[in-house]
Structure 1
Amino acid sequence: MKNKVVTFGEIMLRLATPGYLRFSQAAELTATFGGGEANVAVSLANYGIPVDFVTRLPENDIGRACMMDLRKQGVVTDKIVWGGERLGIYFLETGAVSRGSKVVYDRAHSAVSEIEPGMIAWDKVFEGADWFHWTGITPAISQGAADVCLEAIKKANENGITVSCDLNYRKKLWKYGKSAEEVMPELVAGTDIILGNEEDAEKVLGIKPEGVDVTGGQVLAAAYESVSKQIMERFPRCKKVITTLRGSVNANHNTWSGVLWDGKKLVEAPTYDITHIVDRVGGGDSFMGGLIYGLLTYNDDQKALDFAVAASCLKHTVYGDFNQVTVDEVEKLMSGDASGRVAR
């Protein structure tokens, strides 16, 4: 039986303007669903990994539609708890060239924001599980969400389950009276695999990279070694630190790569030049989904990292939060075939 993964967090209704229209121009919005941990779950399901997504949904038509969409993607949803009044929403305006994308959140008093310890039976959730994934988005939502996330991490640690985290700093979410630096370290202390970027490390953990320029379209991978070392020194449980490397030429043109530090050596993936981005939302989540798959499947850090970067590169060509690509498609790109030729 393949390894079972559990992810926990908030999934939202995504309302996006068509094409590159601004909010003020749009007469209609396209509705899909998405959220960091759910996006990771969908990636893993696409790769054939058994995966449970745990959240709290309102017991109404929108909550049920959300659950049905996850099921359609192959994600197991029977551990979802029901309650609360509403599903969180985020509005997306897709940027172009020199105009960046914009996200407006409407998630106050969502079902997950009002979750409390004891609502989820983590012993049951983790039966047969090998891996648990969370992100820094969840503890940013509310004190209750942070407490439940910590509850899950402690239970996973007790059961010998590998824990991974995407630090995912979201400035707009930390509004309930505590900062990321106050809340996150206790959760990160129980985590084995840590993913982030230069901003995450600074805003969440107070760790600053040295000699890195992320404004000119290029990033220097080796400069992140010092950040990785600092994270491992501060959090001894951590076994691997992974950094995504995004160079933003403009809103439609990015370079994309990643590095992995295992405590002894720095592994670097190839850099992809993504010149015509369709949708970059969920790019980091697709990286994390690919990384978890790679670490579970290949037993080779280099190949796992290469898979994560290639999977995320492909996500930039897929509309919506979910990375709906297959293992074969990712491995084809890993092999160097980026031709985009029609498959007949």
Structure 2
Amino acid sequence: MIQIIETGSFNTVQDLGRPGYRDIGVSASGAMDPLAVKIGNVLIGNDEGAAAIEVQTFPFKLRFETDSVFAVTGADGHPTLDGRELLPWCTHVAEPGQILELRQPPKLARAYIVFGGGLDVPVLMGSRSTALRGGFGGNAGRSLARGDKIGFATVSDALPLPPSGIAAVEPAVALRDVFPAVIDGVLPIRAIVAGEHELFASDGDAFWGQTWRISSSSDRTGYRLSGEPIKPSATVEMRSYGIVPGVIQVPPGGEPIIQMSDANTAGGYPKIAGVIECDLWRLGQARIGSRLRFVRSTHAEARAVEQAVARYVADVRRTSQMVKRALKAMA
């Protein structure tokens, strides 16, 4: 069990989300950086989708009430346990009474704390994720608050390890040949042309050619981008259509909106493009004010990236299991 000692707004319990309910108006929710959750869970020995804490407002502190194995993934920066710096993307063991603190990371937006067994909150529609707008899921459907206590679910093959435990090379480094590098502070995000792209004529080129900035009017539902407005060449009336994370809509004001983890389930603004799924975690780690540009992609490229990420996750799992078997044999 853990107890929250210090927290800010919008720190929540999240897993990989609850897809399959958009037809009844329920957003999938889930972690903004799902890859960080997967890797943390794989390191510990949980199912990939075990519930974790998503921290996006810092500082954040919790106290361990029981022994626990845990890992901190996601944002750059070093967490501390009783003031001692810890290696991120690595398993650690905590004893009752010890305090884990996460401070403001230097560049990235969100950190994830994954625990052996995962967090024991109710499963609703197949997920433990918090849906803040709906007020359900996670920890009573709300952000974490000081004094909250949360237990751990049943541990599968999670094994307490020494502080210098199993670690993974973070995705940004391990997959640097797969994900385009940040150039002059601008994050390249790959996207595929969407249904209404042709409506924008020359403004379509402006969409791809300019640098956009994530505005302060952004949250887990969507990122609103600031830049030179783009508009369709003719007024068009559209029926509402289904929406998933990654869809880029252009409202009448001309500044695009990227749908994110808490994406609306339907909408009627023209779609100019869609971010490939494997680039969404990079957006999830982009702060307010970050600059980005869109790079034309293809379904074939998106599939190749997906396969590379799957190989990376499988490699972390294979290495983790190998080390655990060796430790058990030595015990």
Q: TM-score, normalised by structure 2?
A: 0.25
Greater Cα radius of gyration, structure 1 or 2: 2
Of structures 1 and 2, the one scoring higher in RCO (CA 8 A, sep 6+) is: 2
Q: TM-score, normalised by structure 1?
A: 0.24
